[in-house]
C-alpha cells in the first residue's frame, strides 16, 4: 500500500512550512492522492529526509485502514433497515408462492377438463388432445424435476 501524509505532517517531516509543501504540489514536484502527499514523491523531492523510524508511517497506515473499514461499516444498512427489507422480501416470496400455487391449480384444472373433453371427441380430436396432454405433462415434469 502506498503511504500518504497530510500536508502538515509532510511539512513537519521535511522541516518546512505547509505553504512551501503546497507550492511544491502546485509546481508538480509532489504527487498527491485525495489531498495527501505521497511519501514516495516526498522522499524523491527531499532526499535528505530520513524515515528510519517508520512509526509515523505505520500510524498513518493504521489510520487509513481504519478509515476504510469505517466507510464500509457506515455504508451497511442498520438492523432495522435489514429487518424491513427481509420482511418485504418475505411478503413478496409468499405472494409469489401463492401465485405459483394458483397457476398449478389452473394447470391441473385445465388438464382435467381436457381429459374430460377427450372422452367425448372423435378419433382425430382424441389424438390431438392426447399429444397436447402428453406435451403438457412433459413440460410440467421438466420444470418440477
pLDDT digits (tens, 9 = 90+) for 14-47: 888 889 988 988 999 898 888 888 888 888 888 8
Q: What is the mean pLDDT of residues 93-103?
A: 93
Q: 8 and 65: one domain? A: yes
The answer to whether 29 and 45 have CB atoms below 8 angstroms apart is yes
Instruction: Give the end of a domain, one of 75, 90, 118.
Output: 75
What is the per-residue pLDDT for 1?
56
Whether residue 68 is predicted with pLDDT greater than 80 in this model: the reply is no
User: In the predicted model, what is the mean pLDDT of the chain?
Assistant: 83
| Domains: count for the chain | 2
Q: What is the mean pLDDT of residues 97-103?
A: 92
Which grid coordinates belong to 23? 507550492
**Cα–Cα distance measured from residue 103 to residue 134, given in angstroms and rounded to the nearest whole number:** 19
DSSP 62-111: HHHHHHHHHHHHHHSPPHHHHHHHHHHHHHHHHHHHHHHHHHHHHHHHHH
Contacts of 26 (CB under 8 A, 6+ apart): none
Instruction: Give the end of a domain, one of 48, 75, 102.
Output: 75
Query: Strand, helix or coil at 2?
Result: coil
**Cα–Cα distance measured from residue 120 to residue 99, given in angstroms and rounded to the nearest whole number:** 32
Amino acid at each position: 500500500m502506498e503511504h500518504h501524509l497530510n500536508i502538515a505532517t509532510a511539512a513537519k517531516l521535511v522541516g518546512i512550512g505547509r505553504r512551501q509543501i503546497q507550492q511544491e504540489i502546485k509546481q508538480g514536484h509532489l504527487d498527491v492522492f485525495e489531498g495527501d502527499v505521497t511519501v514516495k514523491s516526498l522522499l524523491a523531492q527531499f532526499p535528505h529526509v530520513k524515515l528510519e523510524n517508520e512509526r509515523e508511517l505505520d500510524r498513518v497506515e493504521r489510520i487509513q485502514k481504519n478509515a476504510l473499514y469505517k466507510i464500509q461499516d457506515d455504508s451497511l444498512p442498520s438492523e432495522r433497515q435489514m429487518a424491513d427489507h427481509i420482511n418485504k422480501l418475505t411478503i413478496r416470496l409468499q405472494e409469489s408462492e401463492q401465485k405459483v400455487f394458483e397457476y398449478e391449480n389452473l394447470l391441473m384444472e385445465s388438464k382435467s377438463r381436457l381429459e374430460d373433453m377427450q372422452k367425448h371427441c372423435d378419433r382425430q380430436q382424441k389424438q390431438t388432445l392426447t399429444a397436447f396432454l402428453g406435451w403438457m405433462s412433459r413440460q410440467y415434469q421438466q420444470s418440477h424435476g
